């Protein structure tokens, strides 16, 4: 298995297309995943991310395209021939088998000796921290514990690839948080190539080496979490990953400037745009400077506070432009907001930092 | 967004999906689909087509088109059976559902005493062939009945009156099971809401109770209607000269050897049965879940007036049911009812039908029907649910079709299919095997649907997980699917056994010398004037049914104790067998 010369991609997809009747679920997806990488397929429901995962698993058959695993074309192989472990949102643990038997399930049909199975089961249960529950049945465990057992079961035959289909969606928020770290740590430790499907952008940002953002059956952007968050390639990505304010504007005469109402703004795009072209400027709520920080900086705007939402660590302000149109949401750290002494209806001066001001073609 | 509609990619994607290379597992899968398909074709579709075809032939096997139908409708003596059948079915339906509804209301919505006992007594008719009820009424109200003898007043039980009476008691438990289930599935919060809005009891009943059970009522009506219109035993025993379609088929086939007319009446009888089945399924599809996880079960309060009137009502009905079986038991245990009440066991010798052979045959056939029926319905449901192929829809249709085939029609269809000269299928004819096959097919649908429900309650990803772990599907079937469905599997086998013990219509054409069955023997002995032996045989059938049912109950307790280690506390209610609900 271990090849010292350039290792082939753990998973390589070439032009994967899938349709269900007239509905096109995937439109020619091409993607390469390096060995040991943790990749998240992220997108809203119906974007095709689960279909893509199931095609990789062989549980769904593509209409076109090639699936390669470790340099081997597996497109025509049945699921059982593909060497992966999979964890579903519903856990899909066998309720009539004990935790130990569940984990041993994939080992028992291989010619593995009984004591060896026993050892492997103990090892995996220790790995997911549930050695004490060995003889219990799944129904006697909590949701988070069950999902860890499902993980152990999937990993037991040492698969080359781990597939996670919304593994955390059925769990409550706190368990989800802690399991995120556990899965990530386990994956790092074992070095197993992992693909996780999720619709939760926070989960993807926290866990993935690379995020594949999908929408309507196409890949919108592939990149490291920071890259996807800081430099979204499309308004869809900008809106789906994190919060984003969009402002209608037109390109100014000078390159790198745009006209927002009657204010000229400097923005982050470097390539020249014909003057008068309609644009969409975008900035994240937490990137807007307010109060003293906004003093004396460029791209200043005076707005009026329409609503104040206290969200714990920060406060979200809904702001309207001077002409009254609701336009911006702005996050201010709770302490900083208190220092502002602002209330609903009061005026607020702010600054849209030029480096944070992204430019997209106008919508429509 | 714009890309989704405008780029025309859909046309560029090939319609065919990339095929997976077939492995050994797939061969097993396809083999299972093929076997199941062949079984359904050979024992459901092909025989049915035979009946249809034969109804278009003359007795000399020449094609005569619709001539048989014209003759059927123009011969008043035969055509009358249609009106008669519809009449007794509708009357029995209305009476049974009304009686059962009040009974079910008493069981579920009041605190009357003896509710457990009433529930058990009402189930008794499930253990007896339909003609047993008719025999009991003859023993009491017949020409030599005890009532007629002692009062000198003959109520004229032979005819529609007797048929309706017998059918009402025969169908009572079937309707009751559905209505009890419907009345139990309610949300107490609706009643709280009605009370806080100031609704009076009558208004609450009309606006909350009745709408809540309307699907149950519809279902009960269709089940009773189908049971009555396809029943053969009761009209045969007590109908006298009043001919219904089921007995007409029997007369044409057994009496006059007129197979083509038998086929013609069969096709006409299929129509209401299939219609009832289709309408019921349409109605049930519109059903929505009244009970959600947040529902609060209704716990009835003490209402002395309602409690006691329901108690009196239920006691009356339960008393009548008990009376029926008491009459049968006493009739079989005395020298000559109603003249000589000296106790005797001599009627249990069954000398006219060759001793205990029919009873042993019945137990053998019932046991093997249970075994074969359970395996076939469960594996069949698994094949349809889990081995998705282009054929799944057709297999499903053929699996639910048998419920709408009246037993008489199935029996006749099997004569055409298995008594055809020169056909290899002839091997089955005149054997116990063909009786087993006809029972399995006759009761196939309920077993199949029970198994389907059990399979659908399981996580759909079990098979996918197994595949990813390299475990073949049949191993997961054996280690996970079957153990999880065990309560349903036991319930299905129970259903097959009990029905095979009491059925008459599906087997009456197929028994041969040496393969007599107990229920048929009851009919024959009664026909031959051996009423006491017929009663004795009925007692034996009922006793065996009750004993098996008791064993089933004990087994279920053990199964649930063994499995409660892994079953979630909320689950077992859904796995309670509802299989006795529908039988035809």
Please check whether residues A195 and A62 belong to one and the same domain. Answer: yes
Residue B430 φ/ψ, nearest 5 degrees = 80, 10
**Of A262, A274, A241, whose CA–CA distance to A359 is shortest?**
A274
C-alpha distance from residue A348 to each of A67, A285, A286 (Å): 54, 14, 15
Please check whether residues A298 and A225 belong to one and the same domain. Answer: no
Please check whether residues A257 and A322 belong to one and the same domain. Answer: yes
Domain boundaries, chain B: 25-54+350-564, 83-287+305-344
- CA–CA dist B553, B517 (Å, integer): 26
Distance of CA B303 to the CA centre of its chain: 36
- CA–CA dist B153, B143 (Å, integer): 9
- CA–CA dist B372, B493 (Å, integer): 9
Retrieve residue A141's tokens. 């465990």
Residue A260 buriedness (CB in 10 A; 0-12 / 13-18 / 19+) = buried
Contact check, Cβ <8 Å, A94/B462: yes
Please check whether residues A3 and A62 belong to one and the same domain. Answer: yes
Residues 6+ apart with CB under 8 A from A200: A168, A169
- Per the structure, how many domains does chain A have? 3
CB B209 within 8 A of CB B185: no
Rounded to two decimals, what is the model's pTM?
A: 0.87
Contact check, Cβ <8 Å, A95/B568: yes
pLDDT higher than threshold 50 for residue B569: no
Q: Which of residues 205-264 of A touch B (CB under 8 A)?
A: 216-218
pLDDT in the model for residue B479: 94
CATH of the domain at A284: 2.40.50.140
Residue A303 φ/ψ, nearest 5 degrees = -130, 170
CATH of domain B83-287+305-344: 1.10.3720.10
Contact check, Cβ <8 Å, B480/A96: yes
- CA–CA dist B254, B428 (Å, integer): 20
pLDDT in the model for residue B562: 72
**CATH-assigned architecture of domain B25-54+350-564:** Orthogonal Bundle (1.10)
Instruction: State mean pLDDT over B250-272.
Output: 92
How do residues A298-345 score in pLDDT, each as one tens digit? 888 889 999 999 999 999 999 998 777 778 999 999 888 888 888 898
Chain B: closest CA distance from residue A195 (Å): 15
Please check whether residues A114 and A200 belong to one and the same domain. Answer: no
Please check whether residues A72 and A187 belong to one and the same domain. Answer: yes
Please check whether residues A326 and A272 belong to one and the same domain. Answer: yes
How do residues A128-158 score in pLDDT, each as one tens digit? 999 999 999 998 999 999 999 999 999 999 9
CATH of the domain at A10: 3.40.50.300
pLDDT in the model for residue B557: 84
Please check whether residues A68 and A197 belong to one and the same domain. Answer: yes
Residue B198, classed as helix, strand or coil, is coil
pLDDT in the model for residue A89: 92
**Of B125, B136, B130, B75, whose CA–CA distance to B103 is shortest?**
B125
Please check whether residues A150 and A194 belong to one and the same domain. Answer: no
Structure letter (DSSP) for residue A233: S
Computed over every residue of chain B, the mean pLDDT equals 88
Contact check, Cβ <8 Å, B568/A76: no
**Interface mutation vs chain A, best among B5, B16, B18, most A CBs within 10 Å:** B18
User: ω before B338 within 30° of 0 (cis)?
Assistant: yes
Please check whether residues A205 and A68 belong to one and the same domain. Answer: yes
CB A161 within 8 A of CB A58: no
How do residues B534-552 score in pLDDT, each as one tens digit? 999 999 999 999 999 999 8
Contact check, Cβ <8 Å, A90/B459: yes
Residues of A in contact with B568 (CB under 8 A): 95, 139
Give the CA angle between residues B481, B484, B490 to the nearest 5°.
105
Residues of A in contact with B6 (CB under 8 A): none
Please check whether residues A216 and A187 belong to one and the same domain. Answer: yes
Please check whether residues A189 and A331 belong to one and the same domain. Answer: no
Contact check, Cβ <8 Å, A17/B9: yes
Share of chain B above pLDDT 70, in %: 93
Domain of residue A49: give its range.
1-83+161-176+183-242
């Amino acid at each position: 298995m271990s090849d010292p010369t350039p290792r082939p991609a753990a998973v390589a997809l070439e032009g994967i297309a899938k349709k269900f009747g007239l509905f096109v679920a995937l439109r020619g997806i091409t993607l390469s995943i390096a060995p040991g990488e943790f990749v998240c397929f992220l997108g809203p429901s119906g974007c095709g991310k689960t279909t893509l995962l199931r095609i990789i698993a062989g549980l769904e058959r593509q209409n076109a395209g090639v699936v390669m695993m470790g340099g081997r074309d597996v497109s025509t192989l049945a699921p059982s021939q593909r060497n992966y472990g999979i964890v579903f949102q519903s856990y899909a643990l066998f309720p009539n088998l004990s935790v130990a038997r569940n984990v041993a399930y994939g080992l028992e049909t291989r010619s593995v000796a009984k004591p060896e199975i026993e050892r492997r089961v103990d090892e995996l249960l220790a790995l997911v921290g549930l050695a004490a529950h060995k003889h219990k049945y799944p129904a006697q465990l909590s949701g988070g514990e069950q999902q860890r057992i499902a993980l152990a079961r999937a990993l037991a035959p040492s698969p080359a690839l781990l597939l996670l289909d919304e593994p955390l969606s059925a769990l409550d928020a706190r368990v989800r948080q802690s399991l995120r770290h556990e899965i990530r740590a386990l994956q790092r430790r074992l070095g197993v190539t992992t693909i996780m499907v999720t619709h939760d952008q926070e989960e993807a940002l926290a866990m993935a080496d690379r995020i594949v953002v999908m929408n309507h059956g196409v890949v919108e952007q592939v990149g490291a979490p920071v890259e996807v968050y800081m430099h979204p390639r499309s308004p869809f990505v900008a809106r789906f990953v994190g919060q984003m304010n969009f402002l209608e504007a037109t390109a100014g005469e000078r390159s790198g400037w745009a006209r927002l109402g009657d204010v000229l703004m400097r923005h982050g795009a470097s390539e020249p745009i014909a003057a008068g072209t309609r644009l969409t400027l975008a900035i994240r709520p937490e990137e807007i400077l307010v109060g003293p920080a906004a003093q004396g900086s460029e791209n200043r705007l005076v707005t009026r506070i329409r609503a104040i939402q206290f969200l714990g660590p920060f406060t979200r302000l809904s702001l309207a432009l001077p002409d009254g149109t609701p336009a911006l949401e702005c996050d201010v750290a709770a302490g900083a907001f208190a220092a502002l002494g602002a209330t609903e209806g009061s005026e607020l001066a702010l600054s849209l930092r030029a480096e944070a001001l992204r430019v997209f073609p106008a919508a429509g | 967004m714009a890309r989704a509609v405008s780029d025309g990619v859909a046309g560029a994607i090939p319609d065919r999906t990339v095929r997976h290379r077939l492995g050994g597992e797939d061969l097993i899968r396809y083999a299972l689909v093929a076997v199941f398909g062949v079984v359904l074709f050979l024992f459901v579709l092909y025989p049915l087509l035979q009946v249809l075809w034969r109804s278009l032939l003359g007795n000399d096997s020449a094609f005569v088109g619709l001539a048989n139908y014209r003759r059927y409708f123009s011969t008043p003596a035969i055509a009358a059976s249609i009106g008669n059948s519809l009449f007794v079915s509708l009357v029995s339906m209305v009476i049974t559902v009304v009686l059962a509804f009040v009974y079910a209301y008493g069981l579920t919505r009041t605190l009357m005493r003896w509710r457990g006992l009433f529930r058990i007594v009402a189930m008794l008719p499930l253990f007896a062939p339909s003609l047993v009820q008719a025999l009991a009424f003859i023993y009491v109200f017949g020409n030599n009945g005890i009532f007629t003898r002692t009062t000198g007043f003959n109520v004229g039980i032979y005819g529609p009156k007797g048929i309706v009476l017998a059918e009402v008691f025969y169908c009572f438990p079937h309707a009751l099971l559905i209505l009890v289930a419907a009345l139990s599935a309610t949300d107490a919060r609706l009643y709280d809401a009605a009370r806080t809005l100031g609704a009076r009891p009558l208004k609450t009943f009309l606006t909350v109770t009745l709408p809540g059970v309307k699907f149950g009522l519809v279902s009960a009506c269709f089940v009773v209607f189908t049971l009555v219109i396809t029943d053969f035993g009761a009209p045969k025993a007590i109908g006298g000269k009043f001919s219904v379609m089921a007995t007409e088929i029997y007369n044409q086939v057994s009496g006059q050897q007129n197979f083509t007319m038998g086929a013609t009446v069969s096709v006409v009888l299929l129509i209401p049965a299939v219609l009832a089945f289709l309408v019921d399924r349409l109605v049930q599809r519109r059903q929505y879940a009244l009970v959600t996880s947040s529902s609060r079960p209704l716990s009835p309060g003490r209402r002395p007036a309602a409690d006691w009137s329901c108690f009196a009502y239920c006691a009356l009905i339960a008393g009548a049911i008990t009376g029926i079986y008491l009459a049968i038991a006493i009739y079989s245990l005395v020298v000559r009812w109603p003249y000589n009440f000296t106790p005797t066991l001599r009627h249990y010798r069954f000398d006219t039908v060759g001793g205990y052979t029919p009873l042993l045959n019945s137990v053998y056939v019932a046991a093997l029907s249970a075994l074969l029926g359970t395996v076939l319905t469960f594996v069949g449901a698994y094949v349809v649910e889990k081995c998705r192929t282009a054929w799944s829809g057709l297999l499903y249709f053929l699996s639910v079709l048998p419920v709408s085939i009246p037993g008489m029609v199935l029996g006749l269809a099997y004569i055409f299919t298995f008594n055809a000269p020169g056909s290899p299928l002839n091997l089955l004819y005149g054997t116990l095997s063909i009786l087993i096959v006809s029972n399995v097919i006759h009761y196939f649908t309920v077993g199949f649907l029970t198994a389907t429900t059990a399979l659908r309650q399981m996580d759909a990803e079990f098979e996918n997980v197994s595949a990813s772990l390299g475990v073949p599907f049949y191993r997961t079937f054996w280690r996970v699917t079957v153990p999880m469905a065990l309560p349903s599997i036991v319930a299905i086998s129970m259903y097959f056994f009990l029905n095979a013990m009491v059925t008459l219509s599906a087997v009456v054409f197929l028994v041969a010398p040496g393969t007599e069955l107990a229920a048929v023997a009851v009919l024959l002995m009664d026909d031959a004037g051996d009423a006491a032996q017929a009663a004795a045989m009925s007692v034996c059938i009922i006793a065996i049914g009750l004993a098996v049912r008791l064993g089933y109950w004990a087994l279920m307790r053990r199964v649930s104790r063994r499995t409660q280690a892994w079953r979630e506390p909320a689950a077992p209610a859904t796995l309670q067998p509802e299989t006795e609900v529908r039988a035809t």
